Structure 1
């Protein structure tokens, strides 16, 4: 019998900030997206005073004044490192683990010689909190979808106290399904939820009672698999060895709109360098590249444009100089003067393991010196700090650089940001 647990970090970004700044405990806190744009993580106290997910920062100013809402700039370096710590702890508790997202992990509990899974998961919860400082909730179910549903209830039900076991209590499943709105079911998006509502399907339980033919016609095979999982029939297995990525993207909205080619050029150079670094870390090479830049679509008073250019990389490569050269060539060919650009980015496509790259008579042979150079650059940046060695002199005060007026230090990844204890 399959048994899965979903471990989900509570208000993860806010929890990471609180680990190193205990003064934030018990206070309404919201972490903002890149460029301090909108709320992407909220403490329970922030939710209680009415901070919606995705609310623009400028609309939160009244809550700052009335309720003392604290706004933190996002620090993804810190969050990524804290995520790795949490996932490494969770991996010691089960023979199989699937890291589903930065703050979620599925555990395979099937066959574990544990008399009380709920008590055991409370032990997991306490261990993660003690070793990392991050609070988590645990949902247990006979399928991954039921585990996800149980996790949601574990977070919101005071009686559950952070752990809910639906696998060990089959009689609770129907009640849990009836308490879950259909829009909250994993894999049911806004459009599908709207279709369900038109046919009187308002809860997860209602969805399990719908006819398979209607489900397949309305939501396709993916929707039918979701419903089967809600009925307790395992369809999704643990993905412990994710397949290689097909694409990777590095992009960002600018702190200010820019009109000069030089500013967009510098931004694209930076994004191309970062994208190449990302695929090297996964031992992949790219066969094509797309570079894009576009204006602020919310500024209807300004002329709008979207630039796109595709460049083939032959042979496929992860070399930063080659990726930068291709990205700049694409930007130059697509560039249009007279527009205020708000965002740019680089997408690497057709990713493949270097061992699987087909060879032809006209491709240049591999360049060992170039590979050694990239390894040396990555090694230096890994040991001494990201971005220490790079390409081009990019001003730190460039108008496209990300706005982060209240970012916490990189406590766990930078020697200069280590917390200082004073007796």
Structure 2
């Protein structure tokens, strides 16, 4: 295996671990984190996993089990999780200048040149610093490719004898083959259950089986994507680190309501808030949108209800990132699709046909409004984003967005933990 390594750093049971950092009394207590409106399980602690609870299980179905085993449930606190994720990513970036943030709780690091310490020692140093600086526990996997690093992380996480760090490159060929023979092929990054069934039918059951396949056969029988995965398992890099987040081609914001909505004005209020979030994300990636879409939904699972789930998309005269213009268009679209007499449970907005703001020609704008007006719009949106970044999302918004205290439709989060790291009023107090 080449001297350089790719590392995959992954936080263990991230959502539940974030809750425990500020509640040491929860250590060892079975925990679950619930989806919007406290509906289904989206994250489980190790204790709950051991009880056989699956992601997606409705919380109401777990009431008896929760009472028997003392399972505690938390509403999804995405503000807390996002802030803790940022802290973890900043810590691990100190170990390598090349970092790809793959998800909220995991990142790849590129070690092109061996560090002064052995790989396992480096991994333990990463674990120790993250633990000391954030209170969270991570596992680290090393491999010569991203796929092998992912696999090494899986080994480290599920085998206590590795003590949270696995370097597949340190294993002798025979030992590596023996280890890979014990891992089901569905654990390979990008394979999944459905493809694993197809591979199993073709006689490929373990990671070792897949690694021994002929790439040409894999490509002809399955796909070029799986062929790349195979080559990565064989130690031949096919996937580079994406150190810059890819630009979204569309932006979608949607939520289920805390209670059903029947009136247009309440739907309009929800659409305004969703568009404010989408527009902020649009500006963050330096894009403008040329079209706006809106959809609303009734509950398709309630057969006794009349069903109606329309959507519509309108083009914009000039592509924009201005929350006010985007919101005005979304409101107009909503009015065309709304019908009274229905029990609406969800709404969403879409920003489509995205383009880089730098590609927008000045002449495109000047035909509609003056250069001074264009500059004022940009300055206003920049101020809006700065205020919300400093004081919290939603602090400053469009005047027509309504008062938060009056919103019956907002997502129900009855088991929400405090914003320990982002609100002064909710900081933990330490008494000496």
Q: TM-score, normalised by structure 2?
A: 0.93
Matched, 1:219 2:222: yes
Label 1:156 to 1:397 Cα distance change in 2 as closer, same or farther (>3 A).
Answer: farther
Question: The residue matched to 2:95 in structure 1 has which SS?
Answer: coil
Q: Deviations over 1:51-83 (max 9, x none)?
A: 212211111111221000000111001110110
Q: Is the 8 A contact 1:94 1:108 kept in 2?
A: yes
Which shifted more, 235-244 or 209-218? 209-218
CA distance in 2, matches of 1:41, 1:364: 49
Superposed CA RMSD in Å reads 1.8
Q: What is the aligned length?
A: 423
Q: TM-score, normalised by structure 1?
A: 0.95
- How far the C-alpha of 1:363 sits from its partner, in A, is 4.6
Aligned to 1:314: 317
Q: Deviations over 1:166-213 (max 9, x none)?
A: 022253432332222122211113332221122222222222233434
Aligned to 2:390: 383
Q: Is the 8 A contact 2:115 2:122 kept in 1?
A: no
Gaps of 5+ in 1: none
- How far the C-alpha of 1:385 sits from its partner, in A, is 2.7
Aligned to 1:249: 252
Which shifted more, 222-231 or 353-362? 353-362
**Correspondence list, 1:321-360, <5 A:** 321-358=324-361, 359-360=363-364
Matched, 1:418 2:432: no
Q: Is the 8 A contact 1:150 1:176 kept in 2?
A: no
Q: Deviations over 1:252-296 (max 9, x none)?
A: 111222222222221111101111112222322212222111122
**Correspondence list, 1:133-172, <5 A:** 133-171=135-173, 172=175
Aligned to 2:78: 76
Q: Is the 8 A contact 1:244 1:352 kept in 2?
A: no
Aligned to 1:402: 411
Which shifted more, 353-362 or 19-28? 353-362
Which shifted more, 123-132 or 395-404? 395-404
Aligned to 1:285: 288
Which shifted more, 155-164 or 176-185? 176-185
The structure in which a higher percent of residues are helix is 2
CA distance in 1, matches of 2:39, 2:349: 21
**Correspondence list, 1:171-186, <5 A:** 171=173, 172-186=175-189
Gaps of 5+ in 2: none
Q: Is the 8 A contact 2:290 2:353 kept in 1?
A: yes
- How far the C-alpha of 1:373 sits from its partner, in A, is 1.8
Question: The residue matched to 1:205 in structure 2 has which SS?
Answer: helix
Q: Deviations over 1:118-143 (max 9, x none)?
A: 11111110110000111000111111
- How far the C-alpha of 1:326 sits from its partner, in A, is 1.1
